[in-house]
Amino acid sequence: MSDLTHNILIVDDEIDACSLFAALVRQDGMIPRVAHDGSGALKLVRTERPGALLPDLKLPDIDGLELLRQIKAVDQTIPVVIVTGHSGIASAVQAIRAGANDYVVKPFAHEDILRVLHQALVQNVIGRNANTSAPPDTGDPGTDPTGLCRLMGTSKAIGRLIANLYQVAQSPLNVVITGETGSGKELVAQTIHRLSPRAKRTFVPVDCGAVPEALFEGELLGHKKGAFTGAISRKPGKLELAHGGTLFLDEILNTPRSSQAKLLHALQERSFTRLGGTTAIAVDVRVVVGLRRGYRGGGSDRAVPL
Protein backbone atom coordinates (compact mmCIF):
# COMPACT_ATOMS: atom_id res chain seq x y z
CA MET A 1 0.00 0.00 0.00
CA SER A 2 1.07 3.61 -0.34
CA ASP A 3 2.46 5.66 2.51
CA LEU A 4 -0.93 7.33 2.87
CA THR A 5 -2.06 4.23 4.70
CA HIS A 6 0.26 5.30 7.51
CA ASN A 7 -1.30 8.77 7.79
CA ILE A 8 -3.65 8.99 10.75
CA LEU A 9 -5.88 12.07 10.81
CA ILE A 10 -6.53 13.34 14.34
CA VAL A 11 -9.50 15.68 14.70
CA ASP A 12 -9.87 17.53 17.99
CA ASP A 13 -10.22 21.18 19.00
CA GLU A 14 -8.09 20.59 22.10
CA ILE A 15 -4.42 21.14 21.28
CA ASP A 16 -3.18 18.98 24.17
CA ALA A 17 -5.34 16.07 23.05
CA CYS A 18 -4.01 16.36 19.49
CA SER A 19 -0.44 16.42 20.79
CA LEU A 20 -1.01 13.27 22.83
CA PHE A 21 -2.62 11.39 19.94
CA ALA A 22 0.10 12.54 17.54
CA ALA A 23 2.84 11.33 19.88
CA LEU A 24 1.20 7.90 20.25
CA VAL A 25 0.73 7.52 16.51
CA ARG A 26 4.28 8.65 15.78
CA GLN A 27 5.78 6.28 18.35
CA ASP A 28 3.85 3.45 16.70
CA GLY A 29 5.51 4.15 13.36
CA MET A 30 2.67 6.02 11.65
CA ILE A 31 2.37 9.64 10.51
CA PRO A 32 -0.03 11.93 12.40
CA ARG A 33 -2.02 14.62 10.62
CA VAL A 34 -4.07 17.09 12.65
CA ALA A 35 -7.25 19.09 12.12
CA HIS A 36 -8.94 21.16 14.81
CA ASP A 37 -12.44 21.21 13.33
CA GLY A 38 -14.71 19.28 11.00
CA SER A 39 -14.21 21.45 7.94
CA GLY A 40 -10.44 21.10 8.17
CA ALA A 41 -10.81 17.34 8.56
CA LEU A 42 -13.01 17.05 5.47
CA LYS A 43 -10.52 19.07 3.43
CA LEU A 44 -7.70 16.72 4.39
CA VAL A 45 -9.86 13.65 3.74
CA ARG A 46 -10.55 14.90 0.20
CA THR A 47 -6.96 15.86 -0.59
CA GLU A 48 -4.91 13.23 1.24
CA ARG A 49 -7.21 10.23 1.87
CA PRO A 50 -5.67 9.32 5.24
CA GLY A 51 -5.35 5.71 6.36
CA ALA A 52 -7.68 6.24 9.32
CA LEU A 53 -9.37 8.98 11.35
CA LEU A 54 -9.47 9.64 15.08
CA PRO A 55 -12.15 12.35 15.41
CA ASP A 56 -13.50 13.65 18.69
CA LEU A 57 -17.27 13.36 18.89
CA LYS A 58 -17.63 17.01 19.90
CA LEU A 59 -16.19 19.56 17.49
CA PRO A 60 -16.72 23.32 17.35
CA ASP A 61 -18.27 23.51 13.88
CA ILE A 62 -19.96 20.19 13.17
CA ASP A 63 -21.58 17.30 15.03
CA GLY A 64 -19.41 14.18 15.12
CA LEU A 65 -22.12 12.03 13.57
CA GLU A 66 -22.56 14.47 10.70
CA LEU A 67 -18.79 14.55 10.17
CA LEU A 68 -18.80 10.75 10.00
CA ARG A 69 -21.55 10.78 7.36
CA GLN A 70 -19.67 13.32 5.25
CA ILE A 71 -16.40 11.37 5.56
CA LYS A 72 -18.12 8.17 4.44
CA ALA A 73 -19.65 10.06 1.51
CA VAL A 74 -16.13 10.97 0.37
CA ASP A 75 -14.64 7.51 0.93
CA GLN A 76 -16.66 4.67 2.41
CA THR A 77 -13.54 2.61 3.13
CA ILE A 78 -11.70 5.02 5.46
CA PRO A 79 -11.63 3.56 8.99
CA VAL A 80 -13.00 5.90 11.66
CA VAL A 81 -12.44 5.44 15.40
CA ILE A 82 -14.57 7.88 17.40
CA VAL A 83 -13.13 9.48 20.55
CA THR A 84 -15.61 10.48 23.22
CA GLY A 85 -16.10 11.14 26.92
CA HIS A 86 -18.28 8.97 29.14
CA SER A 87 -21.30 11.20 28.49
CA GLY A 88 -21.01 10.58 24.75
CA ILE A 89 -21.13 6.79 24.75
CA ALA A 90 -24.72 6.70 23.45
CA SER A 91 -23.70 8.89 20.51
CA ALA A 92 -20.63 6.76 19.93
CA VAL A 93 -22.86 3.70 19.63
CA GLN A 94 -24.91 5.63 17.07
CA ALA A 95 -21.68 6.34 15.23
CA ILE A 96 -20.88 2.63 15.08
CA ARG A 97 -24.28 2.02 13.53
CA ALA A 98 -23.58 4.82 11.05
CA GLY A 99 -20.34 3.22 9.89
CA ALA A 100 -17.60 4.01 12.43
CA ASN A 101 -15.28 1.08 13.09
CA ASP A 102 -15.07 1.55 16.84
CA TYR A 103 -14.84 4.10 19.62
CA VAL A 104 -12.67 4.83 22.65
CA VAL A 105 -13.76 6.59 25.81
CA LYS A 106 -11.72 9.23 27.61
CA PRO A 107 -9.73 8.65 29.72
CA PHE A 108 -8.16 5.63 28.08
CA ALA A 109 -4.98 3.58 28.26
CA HIS A 110 -2.56 4.43 25.47
CA GLU A 111 -2.28 0.81 24.35
CA ASP A 112 -6.07 0.58 24.08
CA ILE A 113 -6.37 3.29 21.46
CA LEU A 114 -3.51 1.84 19.43
CA ARG A 115 -5.09 -1.60 19.59
CA VAL A 116 -8.44 -0.28 18.38
CA LEU A 117 -6.73 1.71 15.63
CA HIS A 118 -4.73 -1.32 14.45
CA GLN A 119 -7.89 -3.39 14.39
CA ALA A 120 -9.68 -0.77 12.29
CA LEU A 121 -6.80 -0.64 9.80
CA VAL A 122 -6.71 -4.42 9.37
CA GLN A 123 -10.49 -4.72 9.09
CA ASN A 124 -10.40 -2.05 6.41
CA VAL A 125 -7.81 -3.92 4.35
CA ILE A 126 -9.75 -7.16 4.64
CA GLY A 127 -13.01 -5.44 3.73
CA ARG A 128 -11.57 -3.79 0.63
CA ASN A 129 -10.26 -7.14 -0.61
CA ALA A 130 -13.27 -9.23 0.30
CA ASN A 131 -14.83 -8.98 -3.16
CA THR A 132 -11.73 -9.22 -5.31
CA SER A 133 -9.74 -12.20 -6.53
CA ALA A 134 -6.45 -10.36 -5.94
CA PRO A 135 -4.53 -11.21 -2.75
CA PRO A 136 -5.15 -8.65 0.03
CA ASP A 137 -2.48 -5.99 0.27
CA THR A 138 -1.67 -6.60 3.93
CA GLY A 139 2.06 -7.22 3.79
CA ASP A 140 2.87 -3.73 4.99
CA PRO A 141 3.31 -3.04 8.75
CA GLY A 142 0.80 -0.20 8.51
CA THR A 143 -1.94 -2.51 7.29
CA ASP A 144 -0.98 -5.73 9.03
CA PRO A 145 0.15 -4.84 12.55
CA THR A 146 0.24 -8.54 13.43
CA GLY A 147 3.09 -9.25 11.00
CA LEU A 148 1.48 -12.55 10.00
CA CYS A 149 1.19 -11.66 6.33
CA ARG A 150 4.95 -11.30 6.02
CA LEU A 151 5.41 -14.76 7.50
CA MET A 152 2.35 -16.66 6.28
CA GLY A 153 1.38 -14.97 3.03
CA THR A 154 -1.33 -12.57 1.88
CA SER A 155 -4.16 -14.88 0.91
CA LYS A 156 -7.79 -14.21 1.74
CA ALA A 157 -7.61 -17.04 4.27
CA ILE A 158 -4.83 -15.24 6.15
CA GLY A 159 -6.86 -12.04 5.99
CA ARG A 160 -9.82 -13.79 7.59
CA LEU A 161 -7.50 -15.34 10.17
CA ILE A 162 -6.16 -11.93 11.19
CA ALA A 163 -9.67 -10.52 11.55
CA ASN A 164 -10.67 -13.47 13.72
CA LEU A 165 -7.58 -13.13 15.88
CA TYR A 166 -8.53 -9.62 16.92
CA GLN A 167 -11.89 -10.86 18.15
CA VAL A 168 -10.47 -13.93 19.88
CA ALA A 169 -7.65 -11.99 21.54
CA GLN A 170 -10.01 -9.74 23.47
CA SER A 171 -11.94 -12.68 24.89
CA PRO A 172 -10.83 -14.16 28.23
CA LEU A 173 -11.61 -17.68 26.97
CA ASN A 174 -9.00 -20.37 26.37
CA VAL A 175 -8.29 -21.16 22.71
CA VAL A 176 -7.65 -24.28 20.63
CA ILE A 177 -5.60 -23.84 17.44
CA THR A 178 -5.59 -26.66 14.89
CA GLY A 179 -3.27 -27.10 11.94
CA GLU A 180 -0.69 -29.33 10.36
CA THR A 181 2.83 -29.47 11.79
CA GLY A 182 4.74 -26.40 10.62
CA SER A 183 1.62 -24.43 9.70
CA GLY A 184 2.33 -21.67 12.22
CA LYS A 185 0.25 -22.54 15.28
CA GLU A 186 2.77 -20.96 17.65
CA LEU A 187 2.87 -17.77 15.53
CA VAL A 188 -0.91 -17.56 15.81
CA ALA A 189 -0.74 -18.16 19.56
CA GLN A 190 1.88 -15.42 19.94
CA THR A 191 -0.32 -13.05 17.97
CA ILE A 192 -3.32 -13.77 20.19
CA HIS A 193 -1.16 -12.96 23.20
CA ARG A 194 0.23 -9.72 21.70
CA LEU A 195 -3.25 -8.46 20.84
CA SER A 196 -4.76 -9.43 24.20
CA PRO A 197 -4.97 -7.48 27.48
CA ARG A 198 -2.23 -9.83 28.72
CA ALA A 199 0.30 -8.56 26.17
CA LYS A 200 2.51 -6.88 28.78
CA ARG A 201 3.01 -10.17 30.60
CA THR A 202 4.80 -13.31 29.48
CA PHE A 203 4.04 -15.68 26.60
CA VAL A 204 5.32 -19.13 27.59
CA PRO A 205 5.36 -21.93 24.98
CA VAL A 206 5.61 -25.62 25.88
CA ASP A 207 6.06 -28.32 23.23
CA CYS A 208 4.30 -31.19 24.96
CA GLY A 209 5.77 -33.69 22.53
CA ALA A 210 9.37 -32.60 23.05
CA VAL A 211 9.57 -32.86 26.86
CA PRO A 212 10.55 -36.34 28.12
CA GLU A 213 7.82 -37.98 30.16
CA ALA A 214 9.96 -38.18 33.31
CA LEU A 215 10.59 -34.42 33.18
CA PHE A 216 7.19 -33.19 32.09
CA GLU A 217 5.67 -32.45 35.52
CA GLY A 218 8.80 -30.65 36.70
CA GLU A 219 8.86 -28.62 33.49
CA LEU A 220 5.23 -27.61 33.88
CA LEU A 221 4.92 -27.23 37.67
CA GLY A 222 8.47 -26.55 38.78
CA HIS A 223 10.08 -28.06 41.85
CA LYS A 224 11.38 -27.22 45.29
CA LYS A 225 14.98 -27.62 46.33
CA GLY A 226 15.61 -31.24 47.22
CA ALA A 227 12.45 -32.52 45.53
CA PHE A 228 14.53 -35.17 43.77
CA THR A 229 18.15 -36.06 43.17
CA GLY A 230 19.81 -33.17 41.41
CA ALA A 231 17.25 -30.55 42.49
CA ILE A 232 19.82 -28.25 44.05
CA SER A 233 17.61 -25.16 43.98
CA ARG A 234 14.00 -24.12 43.52
CA LYS A 235 12.92 -23.92 39.88
CA PRO A 236 9.71 -22.21 38.72
CA GLY A 237 7.68 -24.18 36.19
CA LYS A 238 6.10 -22.97 32.98
CA LEU A 239 2.75 -22.39 34.70
CA GLU A 240 4.35 -20.08 37.24
CA LEU A 241 6.34 -18.23 34.57
CA ALA A 242 3.14 -17.61 32.59
CA HIS A 243 1.29 -16.04 35.54
CA GLY A 244 -0.68 -13.07 34.26
CA GLY A 245 0.14 -14.00 30.68
CA THR A 246 -0.45 -16.80 28.19
CA LEU A 247 0.58 -20.46 28.33
CA PHE A 248 0.81 -22.14 24.93
CA LEU A 249 0.65 -25.93 25.09
CA ASP A 250 1.61 -27.13 21.63
CA GLU A 251 0.81 -30.70 20.57
CA ILE A 252 -1.16 -31.09 23.80
CA LEU A 253 -2.32 -34.58 22.80
CA ASN A 254 1.27 -35.70 23.37
CA THR A 255 0.99 -34.94 27.09
CA PRO A 256 2.06 -38.09 29.00
CA ARG A 257 -0.88 -39.94 30.49
CA SER A 258 0.81 -39.87 33.90
CA SER A 259 0.83 -36.06 33.90
CA GLN A 260 -2.60 -35.37 32.49
CA ALA A 261 -4.46 -35.42 35.82
CA LYS A 262 -2.17 -32.80 37.36
CA LEU A 263 -2.31 -30.65 34.27
CA LEU A 264 -6.10 -30.84 34.18
CA HIS A 265 -6.31 -29.97 37.89
CA ALA A 266 -4.01 -26.98 37.45
CA LEU A 267 -6.07 -25.64 34.54
CA GLN A 268 -9.42 -26.21 36.22
CA GLU A 269 -8.52 -24.97 39.69
CA ARG A 270 -6.06 -22.30 38.56
CA SER A 271 -3.60 -23.51 41.15
CA PHE A 272 -0.81 -26.07 41.39
CA THR A 273 1.76 -27.50 43.76
CA ARG A 274 5.43 -27.65 42.88
CA LEU A 275 7.12 -31.04 42.93
CA GLY A 276 8.22 -31.65 46.49
CA GLY A 277 5.99 -28.89 47.79
CA THR A 278 2.83 -28.88 49.90
CA THR A 279 1.48 -25.38 49.34
CA ALA A 280 -0.96 -24.66 46.51
CA ILE A 281 0.09 -21.72 44.34
CA ALA A 282 -2.63 -19.68 42.64
CA VAL A 283 -1.98 -18.89 39.01
CA ASP A 284 -3.76 -16.68 36.47
CA VAL A 285 -3.02 -17.82 32.93
CA ARG A 286 -4.82 -17.89 29.64
CA VAL A 287 -4.29 -21.24 27.98
CA VAL A 288 -3.88 -21.65 24.23
CA VAL A 289 -3.39 -25.18 22.95
CA GLY A 290 -2.17 -26.48 19.62
CA LEU A 291 -3.52 -29.62 17.97
CA ARG A 292 -2.27 -31.31 14.84
CA ARG A 293 -5.28 -31.55 12.54
CA GLY A 294 -6.38 -35.14 12.13
CA TYR A 295 -3.90 -36.47 14.68
CA ARG A 296 -4.93 -39.85 16.12
CA GLY A 297 -2.12 -40.52 18.54
CA GLY A 298 1.03 -42.57 18.51
CA GLY A 299 1.31 -44.62 21.67
CA SER A 300 -0.49 -46.14 24.63
CA ASP A 301 0.73 -43.52 27.11
CA ARG A 302 0.33 -40.43 24.92
CA ALA A 303 -2.22 -38.70 22.73
CA VAL A 304 -5.02 -39.01 25.27
CA PRO A 305 -7.39 -36.01 24.95
CA LEU A 306 -7.75 -33.97 28.14
- pLDDT tens for each residue of 269-299: 888 888 877 788 888 999 999 988 654 444 3
* Higher pLDDT pick, 300 / 209: 209
pLDDT, residue 124, reads 58
Task: Give yes or no for residue 251 having a pLDDT over 70.
Answer: yes
What pLDDT digit, counting tens, does each position of 168-194 carry? 888 888 999 988 877 788 888 988 988
**Measured in Å, how far apart are the chain's first and last C-alpha atoms?**
45
CA distances from 192 to 13, 141, 142, 150, 292 (A): 36, 17, 18, 17, 18
The CA-based angle 257-244-203, given to 5 degrees, is 65
Total H helices, total E strands in the chain: 11, 13
SS3 (DSSP) at 77: coil
The CATH-assigned architecture of domain 3-131 is 3-Layer(aba) Sandwich (3.40)
Are the folds of 3-131 and 174-292 the same? yes
Q: How far apart are CA 129 and CA 274, in angstroms?
A: 51
What pLDDT digit, counting tens, does each position of 92-119 carry? 777 777 778 777 877 777 877 887 787 6
The CATH-assigned architecture of domain 174-292 is 3-Layer(aba) Sandwich (3.40)
Q: Buried b vs exposed e over 70-98: b needs ≥16 C-beta within 10 Å?
A: bbbeeeeebbbbbbbeeebeebbebbeee
Structural domain boundaries of the chain? 3-131, 174-292
What pLDDT digit, counting tens, does each position of 123-155 carry? 555 444 433 333 334 444 345 656 676 666 666
pLDDT, residue 22, reads 92
What pLDDT digit, counting tens, does each position of 48-93 carry? 888 889 998 889 898 888 888 899 888 888 888 888 876 666 777 7
Q: Buried b vs exposed e over 119-145: b needs ≥16 C-beta within 10 Å?
A: bbbbbbbbbebeeeeeebbbebbbbbb
β-pairing, 7-11 vs 52-55, is parallel
